[in-house]
Amino acid sequence: MKYEYTIGQVAKSAGCKVQTIRYYEQIGLLPNPIRSEGNQRLYSNRDVHRLSFIRHARDLGFPLQAVRDLISISDSPDHACEAADEIAETQLKDVRARIQRLQALEKELSRMLDHCHGGKASDCLVLETLSDHSLCVTEDHKNPA
């Protein structure tokens, strides 16, 4: 196995910061890489691949713990697909819940702004609405998301 990439090159190809890679190493998400004579980290293609797996999962909004689980699944020889499935499904539910919540927020915010644009500065509906929760149309945003 060739170890040919510096941390900077790897960071660039993964679209993340150098510190992020060191952070992943520190928390055990990436293995300790070998070092050059001058004590600089050297990465193989395999390492690069793992990092891109992590970044992709993170881009998809998976929390680090889920990424950890996904890695251990994909590392295990029998690839327990159902477990990976379940993690992805949990994540999907979470994403959908967040979308719902954000849409409720959007509704309330734009309602607030619509009214305010029409009114005078003296009776700013933005501030009034914020002051008085009872003016809310939607109460959905109180739900966890």
Partner DNA sequence: CCTTGAACCTACAGCTACTGTAGATACTAC
Partner DNA sequence: GTAGTATCTACAGTAGCTGTAGGTTCAAGG
Binding residues (CB under 7 A) for DNA: these are 6-9, 11, 16-20, 22-23, 35-41, 58, 63-65
Cα 62 from Cα 79, distance rounded (Å): 19
- Give the amino acid at 43: Y
CB closer to a second copy out of 35 and 98: 98
Binding partner of residue 53 among DNA, a second copy, none, CB cut-off 5 to 8 Å per kind: a second copy
Q: How many residues does the chain have?
A: 145
Residue 65 binds which entry of a second copy, DNA, none, CB below 5-8 Å type-dependent: DNA
Confirm if 145 and 101 have CB atoms less than 8 A apart.
Answer: yes
Binding at 145: pick from DNA, a second copy, none (beta carbon under 5-8 Å per type): none
Alpha-carbon distance of 62 to 56, in angstroms, equals 9
CB of 115 to DNA, least distance (A): 25
Q: Closer to a second copy by CB, 42 or 105: give it.
A: 105
- Sign, CA dihedral 27-30-35-36, equals negative
DSSP state of 27: T
Q: Which residues bind a second copy (CB under 8 A)?
A: 15, 49, 52-53, 55-57, 59-61, 70, 73-74, 79-82, 84-85, 87-89, 91-92, 95-96, 98-99, 102-103, 105-106, 108-110, 112-113, 116-117, 121-122, 124, 126-127, 129-131, 133, 136, 141-142
What's the longest Cα–Cα distance across the chain? 71
Q: How far is the CB of 78 from DNA (least distance, A)?
A: 26
Asked if residue 11 lies in contact with residue 18, where contact means CB atoms within 8 angstroms, the answer is: yes
